[in-house]
Structure 1
Amino acid sequence: MAQETDVNNQATDAVTQVNVQVLDSAPSLATGQTFSSMAHATGLAFQNAVAAQQQVTLSSGVSAARGTSLILNLDVAEDSTQTAKVNMSDTPDLETALATLRVAMGLAKTPRG
């Protein structure tokens, strides 16, 4: 049996119902906050992925531009002279021809073979 108090039974009943309602809704509120945090974290992950992809795209464009610039700025006359030297020499095989080309371009000390 409940103890008799000086407080009206209707007031204590209302407070009890509110407390039960708060305790009843706590798990669903916690789940909602968890889902909200997950959605926010997922959004940040996608934003970071897009930013990283943009940086890679920018870097590849810069690399392509730099490579094109290097190709276009080659000294063609000098390269063709070195190639002609290899073509005019008496080289028996491809390995010796490559070694001769390396020596002519200053990439190696002496040809092998």
Structure 2
Amino acid sequence: MAFPTAVNNQITDSVSQVNTKVLGDTPAVATGNFMMATSQAQTNAALPQRFSRTPVARGVNMLYSIDTATTAVGTSRIFR
């Protein structure tokens, strides 16, 4: 330290070391986050190509394509 302070030197040294460690770890953490985001994006891009060909996907698409207005009318007639 360049000048004396009212705080114990051991405390200021400890805080300085922790700050240095955090700054040293930052590039590695940022790179890891970037790699995880890239991996997730690639997985999301590849998933529809594989999933769209399966029979389960076709069934789910068929269920989602049912006209909801027709379903609502039919349901209301059942519960009258």
Same structural fold, with TM-score higher than 0.5 when normalized by the shorter chain:
yes
Aligned counterpart, 2:29: 29
Unaligned runs of 5+ in 1: 59-113
RCO comparison, higher one (Cα < 8 Å, 6+) = 1
**Amino acid across the alignment from 2:4:** E
Deviations 1:44-84 (A, max 9, x none): 111111134x17xx7xxxxxxxxxxxxxxxxxxxxxxxxxx
1:4 counterpart SS class: coil
Describe the superposition over 1:1-42 as per-residue Cα deviations: whole angstroms up to 9, x where unpaired.
711101000000000000000000000000000000011111
Aligned to 1:4: 4
> Which residue in 1 is equivalent to 2:49?
49
Question: Separation in 2 of the partners of 1:18 and 1:49?
Answer: 47
Max radius of gyration: which structure?
1
Q: How does 1:68-107 map to 2 (within 5 A)?
A: none
**TM-score, length-scaled by structure 1:** 0.45
Give distance in 1, aligned partners of 2:42 and 2:3: 53
Please name the residue that 1:38 is paired with: 38
Ranges of 4+ aligned residues in structure 1 off by more than 2 Å = none
Q: 2:49, 2:13 → 1: CA distance? A: 54
Counterpart-to-counterpart distance in 2, 1:14 and 1:31 = 27
The residue type paired with residue 13 of structure 1 is D
Question: How many angstroms apart in 2 are the aligned matches of 1:49 and 1:35?
Answer: 22
